[in-house]
Structure 1
Amino acid sequence: MKKTFEYDDKLPALPLPTLEHTLERYLDSVRAVVDDNEYANTKKVVERFAKGIGRELHEQLKTNIEKRQERNWLSKWWDEEIYLKWRLPIAPTISMTGFNCLVPPETDSQLTRICVHMYACALVFETIREERYPISYVGKHPLTMHQYKHFFNTCRIPHKGCDELMSVFRTVSEDPRRPPTHVVVMRNGHMFMFDLYESNKLLTPPEILKRLEDIVQQSDQSPGLGLGALT
């Protein structure tokens, strides 16, 4: 079985499309949402762009890519512009992961569902860390798995204008020492933390459930300071 990140250093760098190809794709996407007159006007604007500032901007982008020698010239821009500069609530708008289908909604309580969620996340954590997570393919062509290293042990540090991602995740081959395995639970204005492992062994769902029940009991005694509003 191939290791999760086995191909990452072997894949070719992301190519920069030609300006003509990019503009053709843009016109194709626009065609479905505009009428004939709007499309004709848009096409004229695109043609002027291609003959003027568009060519200059494309050459600048090409030069910057050659200088930086990045394998994926789009990655940094995408992370910053689409995610790290986002100033609206993150969880309900651009959250990218979830396991809502693991337990049917009618099964027991919210605590039961979240303890199974945590347990499942920990199993995924172990699978990625040990590089047993299957590689994604398009046909016979493998895709980079680099972003899977940001699923865990990664936090977003606030800054003015653009935030920063910091990750301490390491695979076993990179560092045999286990990275942080705690979880943070916010409830009723309180923040709690507990580790999902004891003596290097993953807690069972009932053990996780017991800790969550303790958190509910403690947080119900009085409202907290609401520190989560500052993060």
Structure 2
Amino acid sequence: MYESRGKGRTMSITSRLWFSAVTFLTGFSRPMLYSYQGSLPRLPLPALKDTMSRYLRSVRPLMNDDDYARMEKLADDFQNGIGKKLQRYLVLKSWWATNYVTDWWEEFVYLRGRSPLMVNSNFYGTDAILLHPTNKQAARAANVCHAAFLFRRLIERQQLQPIMVQNAVPLCSYQYERTFNTCRIPGLETDKIIHFGDSTHIAVYHAGRYFKMPCYYKGKLLTPKELQIQFERILSDDSVPEKGEAFLGALTAGERKPWAEARSKYFSKGINRTSLEVIERSAFVLILEEDSHDYSEEDPEQLDNFGHAMLHGKGYDRWYDKSFNVIVMKNGRIGFNAEHSWADAAIMAHLWEYVLTEDLMDSG
């Protein structure tokens, strides 16, 4: 699994035999999503010397000769000083943790960050730009919403196949658990990720208003047509947003500490708390945009504008704390905006590929 690969490298005979055996044995059964979790190897801990060597190699292109010479001196001091003690701590942790870096990476790289999520952490995806199945906003929203809940069902029933490298080496599937019903909650010094119980509704934002939209009835997922009727009712609703409602999402777009303070002061009780829980506990957030974006070979700037809309919108019309937002433009184009701390982009890409495929099949 850890053998070097690349141009000019040849896989060893041992690895070839191992890959052949694994491919042959897995061909007799369809593994469930978490089938390999108990057999995944621990993350190997590199020697301190190797870590410093790789670090210096990674920063060399960014530094001139004088700065690099200084960095070499600092690296040598670290390696022969406090680095030895820290390495011993890592060795101890690696004995009882399957991945000695996961919890620290999540906390210190993501959750302790105090800068805005909007452009510093969140990422986005766009529609299948060469295909445009419908211009009806409510119909596209219904198909996408239905497909997303089908994907959630596959996760719950472990009917998704694990992602496999070269169709033989499984990747960890743990992050799938937090795809839905998950929200990042702001804190004064560090945020936390909350995964709520199974949610049967989504939060819909349209024209400055938030709606709680049920997607199940008596335990059964609504059909795309039934979901479309609800989206059409939201689109035809001409009610006026409550004071401050339209710009509420801007709190999730700014610095984390002010948002944590505002959340504690203004959203700890009453209707504000109830309304906030509807958004944070939803399966996901869906945005019904009032603008249209498209793709044109003659005007590449259109795709740039599409990407900008998916990444940051107007700055207040996304709920950036949510695990992901589905965005449906007025002309039926779709995209997503996803918060990064709960999972790698590969998980969101898997969901989005499934959604687009199911959506196109339903539309066809």
Q: Normalising by structure 1, what TM-score?
A: 0.80
Partner residue, 2:162: 135
1:102–1:117 contact (8 Å) kept in structure 2? no
What is the RMSD of the two structures over their aligned residues, measured on CA atoms? 2.8
Measured after TM superposition, the shift of residue 7 of structure 1 is: 0.8
Q: Does 1:86 align with 2:113?
A: yes
Q: Taking structure 1 as reference, are residues 41 and 185 closer, same or farther at Cα in structure 2, changes over 3 Å only?
A: same
Matched, 1:190 2:217: no
- Aligned-residue offset at 1:97: 6.5
Q: Is the 8 A contact 1:197 1:203 kept in 2?
A: yes
Deviations 1:153-208, CA, capped at 9 Å, x for gaps: 22223322112222246xxxxxxxxx222111133443211222224333233322
Task: Describe the shift of the 1:187–1:13 C-alpha distance in structure 2 as closer, same or farther (beyond 3 A).
Answer: same
- Kept after mapping to 1: 8 A contact 2:90/2:100: no
1:64-83 CA distances to partner (integer Å, 9 max, x unpaired)? Answer: 454xx222221111221232
For 1:93 and 1:103, locate their aligned partners in 2 and report how far apart those are by CA, in whole Å. Answer: 29
What is the letter of the counterpart of residue 115 of structure 1? A
Q: Secondary structure at the match of 2:38?
A: coil
Q: CA deviation at 1:114?
A: 3.2
Matched residue type, 1:194: M
| 1:3 is the counterpart of 2:32 | yes
Q: Within 5 A, what are the aligned runs for 1:11-50?
A: 11-50=40-79
Which sits farther off after the overlay, 91-100 or 69-78? 91-100
Q: SS at the partner of 1:32?
A: helix
Please tell me whether the aligned partners of residues 184 and 191 of structure 2 are also in contact (alpha carbons under 8 angstroms). Answer: yes
Cα distance in 1, alignment partners of residues 100 and 240 from structure 2: 50
What residue in structure 1 maps to residue 13 of structure 2? none
Structure number with greater CO (CA < 8 Å, separation at least 6) is 2
Equivalent residue, structure 2, for 1:74: 101
| Kept after mapping to 2: 8 A contact 1:183/1:196 | yes
In the comparison of the two structures, how many residue pairs are matched? Answer: 219
Residue deviations 1:29-80 (CA, integer Å, cap 9, x gap): 11232334433332222122211122222223333454xx222221111221
Does the CA contact (< 8 Å) of 1:188 and 1:224 recur in 2?
A: no
Structure 1's unaligned 5+ residue stretches are: 170-178
Once the two structures are superposed, the pairs formed by residues 125-164 of structure 1 within 5 Å of their partners are: 125-139=152-166, 140-164=168-192
Counterpart-to-counterpart distance in 1, 2:126 and 2:176: 16
Q: Structure 2 counterpart of 1:190, which letter?
A: R
The residue aligned with 2:242 is 224
What residue in structure 1 maps to residue 87 of structure 2?
58
Cα separation, partners in 2 of 1:158 and 1:73, compared to 1, 3 Å = same
Contact 1:85–1:161 (CA under 8 A) maintained in structure 2:
yes
Gaps of 5+ in 2: 1-29, 252-262, 264-275, 277-364
